Structure 1
C-alpha cells in the first residue's frame, strides 16, 4: 500500500528528482548513455503537448532507454520505485510518518529501520479534518489535531535519540500543521514540539534525493541574500534589517547581497551559491500553483520569480531559506498530492534543506527566527554528517516562542523541508 501511495503522488516534480539523482551517478560510469537519455528527456519536455502520437512515442522511447540502462551491472533499479529495505534505510535518522486522510479512513503509516506499521486514527475523519482546517481558529484546530492525530501517532512511534520525525502528508492532510499540533496552555507539554523535531518531505524519493546531496562543514559557505524591503502597493514594506545583520555576522565577506533585483538577476546568480536567503513577499496561487512565487521588481513594476522559472542547474545546494509568506503552503484540490509549492520546488532544484512558511509570517517573528537560526545552524553537525538544520530551526522557533510568550500564529508557520 505504501508503494502505491508513493507512486501516485509528487509525480510531476518526482520525474525531475529521479532523473537528477540517477543521472548524476550514471554520468560518471556511462557518460554517453546518460547524455543520450538526458537529451531525449529534455527534447520531449520542451515539445508541444498537442499530439497524442508524440506522447506515445516519447513513452516508448524512454522505456526503451530505461531498459537499456538497467542492463548495466549495478543499475538494475534505475528509475524504479524504492524497495522496502531502501525505504526502511531512509528512517535511520528517525521515523517517517505518512499521514493518510481519505473519506474512507484516516491512518498513519510509520516507517522505522526495523518495521513498517499502521496506526489507525479512529478519532480523525476526513470530514472533521476539513472542518477543523476551514472553520475553526488556528489554536482550536491545532488542539484537535494534537488530540486526534499527533498524540496517538507519537505514542505509537519509537523515536531515536535525535527526536527527529519526518512527516509525509497526503490529500487534505497536507494542509494540516502537524509540527505545531498542541495544547498551548501555559506549562502544557501536550504538543508536538515538546516531543519531536519535525521536518516535512513531499515523497520518499525526495528524501532519498536530498540525502544523496548531503552537505558538510567543508563546503564553501557562500550566501546569496535577496531582499525586498520596499515593495509596490498593495504589498507593505518589510523590515529586513534583522535578517541582513544575522547573515552578515554569519557569512561576512562570503555574502552577496542583491536588493530589489529582477527575476533574471536572481536566476543568473542562483546556481553559484550553496546558501540562499530570500526576505520578501510571497504569493500562493491556488488555481495554478506553478505560478506561485516570490515578489521582486522589473524596472520598478512588480515581477515574480515563479515555480515554473526554477529550472536552473545548481553546483551544490545546501540551504534555501525562504523568509516570505506561504512558501510552503500546500495546494488544495486536484493537485494536493503533487505538493507543488516554492519550498518543495527549491528542494527539487537541488537544495538539501529548505526553510519555508505555511501561512503568513509576522515581520518581527521572521527576523528573530532567522537571526537565531543563523547563530545556531553551524554550531554542530548532525549525528551522520552535515549541519543540524532542522534542530537549528526548532531551537530558533522555541527561543522566540519562550522569550516573547508568543502566540502560535506568529511562531507556527516556520517549517523545515529536507533531510537532516
Structure 2
C-alpha cells in the first residue's frame, strides 16, 4: 500500500514489492493499491505459502484484537486472521509498524498481528515492535529476503539483518531493534 487514505504515503512499499518480484520472478502475486482490498487479501491467503505486507499497521493498546493492517478499503484485523486456518502457510513478513506490539493493559498476553498470523497457521512471522522508518523497512526486507533466497532459516535471516544494522548504527537501537521473528 504505497498510498493509503488518511495516512502518509509509503514509497518504500512499492520498492519492497519491486525488489521481491525481481528476487523471485514468476513466483509473486502482487496486490497493490486499490487491488489490495480486505476481501482480496483474505481470498489469497489460503494459497499463499509466504505473504508479505508492506503497509501501515496500527496496534490497539486497549483492544488488541482490533490491531490492524491498513488496506485499500477496510483494515485486516487480528480477529480476521484468527478465524482462518491456513494449511499451506509458512512465512508472514509484516513490514508495517507495531505488528508485534502487545497491549498496554495485558503485556503478558501476546495478542497482536504477529500472533494472529501464527494462530492462522504461519510457522514463521517477521514483525515489528514499534513504528519503523519506510526506508529502513525496504533495507531490512531486502536483506532478509536475500538471506532466505540463499537458504538461511527465517529466524537466522532476521538475526543476521538486525546484527548488521546494529553494527552499522550501534547508537540507534530504535532503527534496528524493532524487527523480530516469532515461530518455530
Q: CA RMSD in A?
A: 1.6
Aligned residue number for residue 17 of structure 2: 244
Instruction: Report 1:15-414 matches (<5 A).
Output: 228-233=1-6, 235-239=7-11, 240-260=13-33, 261-298=36-73, 303-310=74-81, 311-333=83-105, 335-380=106-151, 388-403=153-168, 407-414=172-179
SS at match of 2:71: strand
Please say if residues 140 and 161 of structure 2, whose CA atoms lie closer than 8 Å, have aligned partners that are also in contact.
yes
Deviations 1:100-158 (A, max 9, x none): xxxxxxxxxxxxxxxxxxxxxxxxxxxxxxxxxxxxxxxxxxxxxxxxxxxxxxxxxxx
Q: Say if 1:279 and 1:322, in contact at 8 Å, map to a contact too.
A: yes
- What is the TM-score normalised by the length of structure 1? 0.41
Contact 2:102 2:112 in 1 (8 A): yes
Following superposition, the deviation at residue 396 of structure 1 comes to 1.6
- 1:379 is displaced (CA, Å) by 1.7
**Normalising to structure 2: TM-score of the pair?**
0.91
Gaps of 5+ in 2: none
| Distance apart, 1:332 and its partner CA | 2.2
Structure 1: distance between partners of 2:41 and 2:158: 25
- Can you list the C-alpha shifts for 1:187-219, whole angstroms capped at 9, x where unaligned? xxxxxxxxxxxxxxxxxxxxxxxxxxxxxxxxx
Pairwise CA distance, 1:404:
5.4
* Change in 2 beyond 3 A, CA 1:255/1:237: same
Change (3 A) 1:290 1:259: same
Which structure is higher in helix share?
1
Q: Which has the higher contact order (CA 8 A, sep 6+)?
A: 2
CA shift digits 1:372-411 (9 cap, x unpaired) = 110011323xxxxxx5111111112223333456611111
Kept after mapping to 1: 8 A contact 2:64/2:102:
no
In the alignment, structure 1 segments of 5+ residues that lack a partner are 1-227, 381-386
SS of residue matched to 1:287: coil
Deviations along 1:173-198, whole A, 9 cap, x unmatched? xxxxxxxxxxxxxxxxxxxxxxxxxx
Higher alpha-carbon Rg: 1
SS at match of 2:30: strand
Per the TM alignment, residue 232 of structure 1 is displaced from its structure 2 partner at its CA by: 1.4
CA contact (8 A) 2:102 2:109 kept: no
Once the two structures are TM-superposed, the CA of residue 340 in structure 1 deviates from its matched residue by: 0.5
User: Is contact 1:290–1:341 with CA below 8 Å preserved after alignment?
Assistant: yes
Give the distance between the partners of 2:171 and 2:22, measured in 1 at CA: 26
Give 3-state SS (helix, strand or coil) of 2:5's partner.
coil
Aligned residues: 180
